Structures are given as C-alpha cells and as structure tokens.
Amino acid sequence: MNAHAKIPVLRDDFGIGQVACPIPSDRTKERACMTYASTTTLARIRAASPCQGGWTKLLDHLGKTSSDDEPLPLLTVLDSNGLDDALWVLSFAIPDDRLARHFQAWCADRVLHLFEDDYPDDSRVRDQIAMLRRDDASDDERRTAAEAAAGAVEWAAAGAAGAAGAAVWAALAAARPVAWDAARNAVWAAGTVAPDAERYGERAAERDAQERQLRAMIGGAA
C-alpha cells in the first residue's frame, strides 16, 4: 500500500484545509489534495508498549510472531484491530504527527459548538483547533495554544454544568495532547447532550464517523 495516500480536501473561507468525507454533491468550495504519511513498523509499535491483547491480535493478522522493521500501513492496523488500536498507533507509533493533529482537529471541530453554545465569547478551543491544523506552527505556539485550551477546560468544568458537561468534553477533544484520547472525548461530548435513551446510539454514530474519516485520510474506503 502507498503510505502517502491522496484524498480530497475542502478549503474553508479562512484557508484552513479539512478533509472531506464524504463530499455532498452540492458543495462548491475549492477542493485540493492533501497527503499524509501513515506508515509505521511493528518495531515502533512494540517500542511504544502496546497492550498484549492488541499486540497479539495484530501479529496473528499479519501471520508473524515478533516485531520487525517492515513498513506497516495504519490502514492495516485499522482493518485488523479496529478504531481504538488504530488511534493508539496513530498517537504513539507514527513518526510524523501531522495526520494525528489533523484528525484530532476534525474530531474536535465536530463538537466545538457544544463548547461555544455555552461560551460564545471564548475562542480558546477554536484557536487550538486551528493550531492543530497549522503545519508551520512553532513548538512555542503549539504549547501556548494548548495551555489556553486547557484553561478553557478548567473554566468550563467550574461552570454551571460542571465537569460532566458537554462543553468540558468538547474542550478536552481539542486540548488533549494525543489524538487517541481526544477522539474519545469527542465521542463522549457527542453523547452527553442526547437524551439518556439515545446516548449510546449518538456515541456509536460518532465513532463510526471517526472511523470513516480516518479511512478517508489514509486512503481506505470511506
């Protein structure tokens, strides 16, 4: 598999590229092409200390008994082990963090409204999402934006809804340092605002959307 799969991208009015998955027929915004490095190796995964069950499952899928340095597409991990393990590998065993940042931004953007509904004048979470998408940002810029977003989490947690509110989970989706954790927070945020009987379904739907998006970004079928 080609490790640098090309996929369609939408450009919004602010010049921020977002991968489209799928693209509605009535969308007329400019389309471009974005590539992501999405290859790792078993050796990299092993060095990151995966859980034993996931590691064994992946080895069995590959017909191997130990780690090696052969290129391993993230799509193979997703097909073998599912979304959770693929996001863990994305977060801890893919050398280039660009895919992880852009995927986290996509996840956080989907639930951003849950934060801004409660705090419309607070731009810290939105700014962090924009920073995740910026490939030319410095380490200091990234650190400053992440710290500001963490402050937004604390502010929301101290608000009327408390630590269990959707605004907190939405802010965490942007503020978390790894995509694996951020995606879970986005799923939780999506379900928090639903009626009790519908929460499981809402969270399952958000996870399905995340998997479709990840597949689109790494060249799999959406």
> Which ranges constitute the DSSP H helices of the chain?
42-47, 52-62, 74-81, 83-92, 98-116, 124-133, 139-157, 166-175, 179-192, 199-218
In a domain, 63, yes or no: no
The tens digit of pLDDT for each residue in 40-67 reads: 999 999 999 999 999 999 999 999 999 9
Confidence of residue 164 (pLDDT cuts 50, 70, 90): low
Residue 7 included in any domain = no
pLDDT at 199: 85
State the pLDDT at residue 195: 81
Close Cβ partners of 159 (under 8 Å, ≥ 6 residues apart): 118, 119, 165, 167
Structural domains of the chain, count? 1
| Average predicted confidence (pLDDT) for the chain | 84
| pLDDT range class, residue 162, cuts 50, 70, 90 | low
DSSP-assigned beta bridge partners for residue 32:
9
- pLDDT at 10 exceeding the cut of 80: no
- Evaluate if residue 220 carries a pLDDT over 90: no
Higher-confidence position of 1 and 144: 144
Residue 35 pairs in a beta bridge with 6
Domain assignment of residue 40, yes or no: no
Mean pLDDT of 25-32: 32
Is residue 25 in some structural domain? no
Residue 79 lies in a domain: no
Task: Collect contacts of 182-187 with beta carbons under 8 A, ≥24 apart.
Answer: 182/104, 182/107, 182/108, 183/87, 183/103, 183/104, 183/107, 183/210, 186/107, 186/108, 186/110, 186/111, 186/210
For the entire predicted model, the pTM comes to 0.82
For residue 222, the model assigns a pLDDT of 52
pLDDT band at 24 (very low <50, low <70, confident <90, very high): very low
On the question of pLDDT at 115 being above 90, the answer is yes
- What average pLDDT score do residues 90-100 get? 96
Within a domain: residue 185? yes
* Long-range contacts, 48-56 (Cβ 8 Å, 24+): 48/89, 48/92, 48/93, 50/85, 50/88, 50/89, 54/81, 54/85, 54/88
CA 187 to chain CA centroid, Å, is 11
- Its domain, for residue 183, covers 98-218
Query: How many CB atoms neighbour CB 216 within 10 A?
Result: 21
**Positive/negative CA dihedral, 185, 186, 187, 188:** positive
Looking at the domain assignment, is residue 125 inside a domain?
yes
Does any domain span residue 123?
A: yes
